[in-house]
Amino acid sequence: MAGVLRSPIRLVAAVCAVLAVASCASFPEQPPAASWQPEVPLTPQAAPEPDTGGADGGGGAQPTGTPTKIPPPDGCTDFNPAVLATCLDTVVAVAALPGDGSNPTALVGERKTGRILMVRKGQAPTVFATIPVDAATDGGLTGLALSPNYVEDQLVFAYVTTATDNRVVRVAPHDTAKPVLTGIPRGAHTGNRGSLTQDRRGALVLATGDAGSPTAAADQSSLAGKVLRFNTDGKPTTGKSLVLTSGLHAPGGICTSLDGTQTWVTDRGATADVLYKVVAGKPLSTPAWTWPDRPGVAGCAATPELVWIAMATAGNLQNIPQAPDGSFTGKPQVTLAAPDGFGKVDGLDLMTNQIAVAGTVNKQTGPAISSDDRAVAIIVQPQGGGGGAD
């Protein structure tokens, strides 16, 4: 596939260049996407480049000079330039803040503690808010999304598990959470995880688990196992129903492209992990892609050229190239796998069509390093790069 950074090493090096720019220049808060351009050449920040056996497929400047190995973490100090924050706990929910990607900033949610933290390179994480959650099952704080009017209202929406239900709440900085959408069925042991995002057109989109009951996912009167779309007041965007489509089991992530034209949801089914394209009114019956090996599909990010999926069991990211009509043009390509990756990546959210923010869950099932769990910035598409088949 042409124009895509395939190597984990190039991903880290490119992020280093992006972060280096931010230390010596200032940018308007939201410049046009086309204005994003690193002002320094990429420099290697990890192990030596592997021999790919062919011409390079990445766009822009290439690493030069003698490769330098990144030293291992020292407690909570992590020397990897892509790392935004360290010593977090089970980061399933991620929401990238508006920006051009030159200095990535995000809100990240800890599944077990209910803490939402503001993270940014070179600064200690700060607590945005803490939401009471019940993390005794697979739930807790599993979804996070900015208000469609975040720049003006500073509101954040979260999907959480309580002792009696799963629900969407909204919270302002340092305030207590207010209920928005309640009564989503809670499973006794499983089926409580969900994922939340903007639809990029002024509403929110939520993927809910089946509360441990496949029957509930097929029941149109139940909010379990569904993709829901609603306004910031919790009411349907159109008509009387919140349900956009149905048939989910244990969703790992939901994502919408920045232009609002595509929405995808990952799901851990009974026999395989799958990726669905969400179409209003059409049941989630035919996956767009299937992984019989069950790598643990989690958060996702959609650009015009690629759909990225975080794998919380296999410990890597995979991208599937797209044609202009939205069809897939090749098999998933694996990046950020061991030993060059960040371990088990779960939460994932797109900041621009070039930069995404991710969270790890290594503390949950291991192996973990001293700086885990971490929030990291990754390059998902170099500026000017294009998708397509090899």
Query: Cis peptide leading into 346, omega within 30 of 0?
Result: no
Q: Which domains does the chain have, with CATH numbers?
A: 8-379 (2.120.10.30)
pLDDT of residue 179: 98
Q: How many percent of the chain have pLDDT more than 90?
A: 75
Query: What is the model's pLDDT at position 67?
Result: 53
Q: What is the dihedral of CA 318, 347, 264, 354, to 10 degrees?
A: -70
Residue 59 has pLDDT above 90, yes or no: no
- Report the DSSP beta bridge partners of residue 123: 120
Q: What is the mean pLDDT of the chain?
A: 84
What integer is the mean pLDDT of 281-293? 94
CB contact set of 112 (below 8 Å; sequence gap of 6+) = 89, 90, 133, 135, 140
Token pair of 2 as six digits: 């042409």
**pLDDT score at 226:** 98
Place of tokens 């030596």: 48
Predicted confidence band of residue 382 (pLDDT cuts 50, 70, 90) = low
Residue whose C-alpha is closest to residue 324's, from 369, 265, 383, 389: 389
Paired tokens of 198: 């903007």
Closest to 276 (Cα-Cα) out of 316, 230, 222, 217:
217
Q: Is 42 exposed, middle or buried (0-12, 13-18, 19+ CB in 10 A)?
A: buried
So what's the pLDDT on residue 238? 84
**Dihedral, CA atoms, 132, 149, 345, 43, nearest 10 degrees?**
-140
What confidence score (pLDDT) does residue 239 get? 83
Could you give the C-alpha distances from 281 to 1, 180, 185, 228, 244, in angstroms and in order? 33, 23, 21, 11, 6
Report whether pLDDT(54) > 90. Answer: no
Query: What is the pLDDT averaged over residues 278-300?
Result: 95
In this prediction, residue 383 has a pLDDT band, given cuts at 50, 70 and 90, of low
Contact residues for 131 (Cβ-Cβ < 8 A; gap 6+): 114, 116, 141, 158, 160, 169, 171, 177
Residue 27, pLDDT > 70, answer no
Q: What is the pLDDT of residues 245-278, one digit of tens each?
A: 999 999 999 999 999 999 999 999 999 999 999 9
Residues 6+ away with beta carbon under 8 Å from 241 = none
Kindly report which listed range (34-38, 85-89, 135-139, 347-351) carries the lowest average pLDDT score: 34-38
Q: In this model, does residue 240 exceed pLDDT 80? A: yes
β-bridge partners, 316? 311
| Token couple for 203 | 């509403």
Look at residue 381 and tell me whether its pLDDT is greater than 90. no
Q: Give me the residue label for tokens 């207590």.
A: 176
pTM: 0.84
- The string of pLDDT tens digits covering residues 100-149 is 999 999 999 999 999 999 999 999 999 999 999 999 999 999 999 999 99
